[in-house]
Amino acid sequence: MGAGTAGLLAGAALAALVTAAGTGAAGAPAPAAAPVMGGLVAAPGGEGPKARWVRDEARFAPVGAFVPSEAVTYDLDLLPAAAWIRVGQAVSRSETTVVAEVRGLRPGRAYGAHVHTGVCGADPQAAKGHYQHKVDPVQPSTDPAYVNPYNEVWLDFTTDAEGAGRAVARHSWGFRPGEAASVVIHDQQGGAGARLGCFSVPFVSPEDAPGRG
Ligand SMILES: [Cu+2]
């Protein structure tokens, strides 16, 4: 491992996150305690000096379930009760990464998903519209200049033969405090589609990342 390798790593978008895990010299094995998800290495306790890593998980339950869940399904056929979702978020002052993982959905099917601005409710519309970095002055937003994966957080995925899926979205911007509230799963990919389910997620903002004065 020479200086050249270290330079390449430093140029990688996720290097800051990996560094946050607190590895020693280049090439040294990461501490055994560091949880790994999707190639991201989180510092023990979910926090590091340069990035904050948080995650939340739940099992979907129908509206009005005896045991309510932070994850609500509106379509028991395409998004069965007890299907599982986990959403992770790594936040630094320069980058925000959101990872969504699901299990127990229909196998081999394409689903759409986005970060929305409202908390989930009995009404699928409770989650409101997509979180937008540059907010479309015309709402509900349909303009492709605003409705796209660069200005919004799209987490579209296709499930495998077991009904599991995973998506990652990475942006150079972060959420405004309190304006990103949920992940909505849709019956089709892209910017639209019927709402199959919703998971309320307490997303954090760059302002919450460590190192800010
Ligand atoms: Cu959506």
Find the 45 Cα to ligand 1 centroid distance in Å. 30
Candidate from 15-19, 61-65, 82-86, 201-205 with smallest mean pLDDT: 15-19
Cα–Cα distance measured from residue 206 to residue 192, given in angstroms and rounded to the nearest whole number: 28
Which CATH number among 3.30.230, 1.20.58, 2.60.40, 1.10.10 corresponds to the domain 8-208?
2.60.40
- Is the pLDDT at 146 greater than 80? The verdict is yes
Percent of the chain scoring above 90 in pLDDT: 65
Find the 164 Cα to ligand 1 centroid distance in Å. 19
Residues with CB under 5 A from ligand 1 (ion): 114, 184
Q: 0.75 cut: is pTM over it?
A: yes
- The residues spanned by each domain of the chain are 8-208
Find the 98 Cα to ligand 1 centroid distance in Å. 15
Inter-residue contact 105 to 79 (CB < 8 Å): yes
Find the 125 Cα to ligand 1 centroid distance in Å. 10
State the pLDDT at residue 50: 63
Find the 113 Cα to ligand 1 centroid distance in Å. 5
Q: Residue 16's pLDDT band (boundaries 50, 70, 90)?
A: very low
Find the 87 Cα to ligand 1 centroid distance in Å. 15
Percent of the chain scoring above 70 in pLDDT: 74
For the CA atoms of 58, 111, 200, 163, what is the dihedral angle to 10 degrees? 0
Residues 6+ apart with CB under 8 A from 193: 112, 186, 187
Find the 115 Cα to ligand 1 centroid distance in Å. 6
Residue pLDDT, tens place only, 85-111: 999 999 988 899 999 999 999 999 999
Q: Residue 211's pLDDT band (boundaries 50, 70, 90)?
A: low
Q: In terms of pLDDT, which residue wins out, 43 or 191?
A: 191
Report strand pairing: 165-171 vs 182-186.
unpaired
Find the 195 Cα to ligand 1 centroid distance in Å. 7
Q: Which of 203, 188, 55, 56 is nearest to 117 (CA)?
A: 203
Q: Residue 53's pLDDT band (boundaries 50, 70, 90)?
A: confident
Find the 118 Cα to ligand 1 centroid distance in Å. 11
The two tokens of residue 47 are: 């926090």
Candidate from 19-23, 54-58, 151-155, 164-168 with smallest mean pLDDT: 19-23
